Amino acid sequence: MSDIERGKTQISASDLILFSEILGKPIEYFYGEDFSDSDIEDVIALMRRLPPDTRKQQLPLMTMFLRMAEINYEMQNTSDSEKQSEAIKEFYEIFLPYYESMESLIGQLREAKHNIESLLE
């Protein structure tokens, strides 16, 4: 362990994942990144637990959602009408595919709800 701490030897990726799981820390923690907020660490840990295919499917939706939240924040904190107009256009360009994806997910959720209710009868 001391050789790893002194940088004389490198830890394998599989050992890093193992340490991460044992200590309940995201892998980024071992690279010295300071998230300054346990919520961010929790989100990263949740993402890492998802199967890779699910993570690839969900990441674009999360990215769109977070960008829309960021644009909304920017719009609320500027009085420049030109910047607000540009932000509204960008928001809408992101919102449309996000909305369509959410509609699809809602359909899947309704179907799942129906299937579960049928099983419970």
pLDDT in tens, 67-86: 999 999 999 999 999 999 99
* Sign of the CA dihedral running 63, 65, 66, 72: positive
Considering the entire predicted model, what is its pTM? 0.59
pLDDT of residue 2: 64
Q: What is the mean pLDDT of the chain?
A: 84
Phi-psi region of 11 (alpha: psi -120 to 50; beta: other; left: phi over 0): beta
pLDDT digits (tens, 9 = 90+) for 8-64: 677 777 777 787 778 777 777 776 666 566 777 777 778 888 888 888 888 889 899
- 26 burial (CB, 10 Å; 0-12 / 13-18 / 19+) is buried
pLDDT of residue 92: 96
Q: What are the tokens at 107? A: 């359909």
* Sign of the CA dihedral running 89, 93, 95, 96: positive
Q: Where are the domains of the chain?
A: 1-49, 51-121
